[in-house]
Structure 1
Amino acid sequence: MQDKYGQEPGLFGTFVDRLEENLIAIMLGIMVTLSFVNVVMRYVFNSSIIWSLEVVATLFAWLVIFGISYGVKKTTHLGVDALTNVLPDRPRRIAAILAAGICVIYALLLMKGAWDYWAPFAGLDVTSGRWFPTGFVETRSRAFMETDQIPFPEMLLGFLPDLINDGDAYSKLPDVVPYVMLPVGCALILLRFVQAFIRVLAGRQDTMIVSHEAEEDIEALSGTHPER
C-alpha cells in the first residue's frame, strides 16, 4: 500500500507504522482505563487509585511528544500555506527546503535540551555548548529523585538502583523513567525531520504540513468536489 507520496513503506516500514500506532493506542487505552476505574472507585466505593492521576499525566506527556514525531512522519501537522501556495514552483520548492532545514535545526536544539534535562536523572553528564553539543560536562546526579505516588515496580526495574543510584533502593518510581520520553521522543522527532528533509530535497515531498488533499478527499466523499 502506497503512502500519500506514492512510496511503498516496505515490510520494515509497515512494522514500524504498526508499532507506533499500537503504542499510541496502548497509551490511550491505559489512560482511559485508569481514569474510568478511578472515577468508579471514587463515586461508588469512596476510594481511589492514588497513583493513577500521576500515571495518566505522564502518559499524556508521552503521547504528546511521541505524537509529534508520528505527525511529522505522516505529514499531519497543521500550518499556514496561504503564501507558499501562490508562489511559482521553484520558489515554493526553495521555501519547502528552507522550512525543512529550519525544522531539522530546531529538532537538534530540542534533542540537546531534552538530553541535558534528562541526563542528571539517569546519573549521566550533560552536554557542553550553548546551542549545539560540543562535549560533555559532569553534573550533579539527580538519580535519587522519585515520583510522588507511582510505586516502584521491583520486578521490572530492579536493576535501576545499582545502575544509577549507587545501590540505594527506591520507594517510588524514579524520575528517570517518566522523563526518558524526552530524549527518546526528541530523537524520533529529529529522525522524522531529517527523513522529511531528505524527501523534500529529493522532490518526493513538497510541504512539511498537511496539504489541502484532506479537504479535497472530504469534498469528494460528500459529492461536492468540483471535479467529481
Structure 2
Amino acid sequence: MASHGTGGPTGFIDTIEETLIAALLGAMTLVTFANVLARFFDIWGGNVLWALEATVFMFGWLVLLGASYAVKKNAHLGVDALVNIMPPAGRKVMGLVAVSACLVFSLLLLKGCYDYWAVFADLPPTSGRWFPTGFNFDARSQSFYEVDDVPMLPFLTFLEGAINYGDEYEKLPKVVPYLVLPLSAALLLLRFTQAAFRILNGTQDRLVASHELDEDDIEDAANRADEEKV
C-alpha cells in the first residue's frame, strides 16, 4: 500500500485536527491531575466539581475526532485475507466498494449528528428520514439546555445573545460540547472522500491497514525500545 502525504488544500485542517487532539490529551491530564491534588491535599473544597464532566466531554471529543484522524493515518484495522489474494484490479474494486459504503455511512451520520446538535444551537434540523430534504423550521429550540457541572466560560458569553435570546447561562450550554458531533462526522466524510480519491488514482489499494502492517509497526516499535535501553 503506497504512502500518502497530508499536504494540499487540507493541510490547514490537518494541523488544526492534530493540534486539537494533542490539546485535548493535555487538558484531560491537567484537569485529572488537579482533581487528584484537590482531593489529596484537601484544597479547592477537596474536589474540582466539574472535573469529571469536563473530562468525559474531552474524552468524547478525543474519540470522535480520533476516528477521522485514524482514517487519515490508515490506523484502523482491517481483515485483508481476501484482498491479499486478489489482483491489483480486484483490490481496487474491493477498495472502492468499501469506501463507498463508508461514504454513505458518513453522510447518514452527518445528518443525524447535525440534527441532534442543531436544536441546541437554535438552528433548524433537516427534514427527511435518511437524507436531507430541507429544514424543519417548526422544531423546538433547546438552546437553553445546560450541562450539569461545567461553569459558563467568560469568552462564550456571546452565545447568550446569539442563541439564548439574552438569557444568561449559569452552566456551559450543551451546544458547545456537542459541537463535536457534526464536526467529527464532517471530518470523517472528508477523510473517506480523500481515501476514495487515493484508491481511484492508485496511490492506495485498500481502505484500512492490514493486521500484518500493524504487527510490523508494533515489532519495529519494540525493536526501537530495546535499542534505546541498550
Structure 2 length-normalised TM: 0.88
Q: Does 1:213 align with 2:213?
A: yes
Q: Residue 147 of structure 1: SS of its match in structure 2?
A: strand
Quote the residue 2:52 is aligned against: 53
Quick one: which amino acid aligns to residue 124 of structure 2? D
Residues 150 and 8 (structure 1), Cα distance of their counterparts in 2 relative to 1, 3 Å cut: closer
Distance 2:72 2:7 in 1: 15
Residue range with higher mean Cα deviation, 208-217 or 38-47: 208-217
Percent identity (aligned): 47
Q: How far apart, CA to CA, are the structure 1 residues paired with 2:123 and 2:220?
A: 54
Task: Compute the displacement of 1:214 (Å).
Answer: 3.8
- Higher relative contact order by CA 8 Å / sep ≥ 6: 1 or 2? 2
Q: Pairwise mapping of residues 125-164 of structure 1 onto structure 2 (< 5 A)?
A: 125-138=124-137, 139-154=139-154, 156-164=155-163
Counterpart position of 1:36: 33
Equivalent residues in 2 for 1:54-133, closer than 5 Å = 54-133=53-132
CA–CA separation in structure 1 for the residues paired with 2:143 and 2:13: 32
Is 78-87 or 125-134 further displaced after alignment?
A: 78-87
Q: 1:216 to 1:150 in 2, by over 3 A?
A: closer
CA–CA separation in structure 2 for the residues paired with 1:158 and 1:219: 50
| Change over 3 Å in CA distance of 1:219–1:158 after alignment to 2 | closer
| 2:184 match: secondary structure | helix
User: In 2, distance between residues paired with 1:15 and 1:136?
Assistant: 30
SS in 1 for 2:132: coil
Q: Give the unaligned 5+ runs of structure 1.
A: 224-228
* Unmatched segments (≥5 aa) in structure 2: 225-230
- Equivalent in 8, 18, 23 of residue 26 of structure 1: 23
Partner of 1:226: none
SS at 2:135's partner residue? Answer: strand
- TM-superposed CA distance for 1:10, in Å, is 3.7
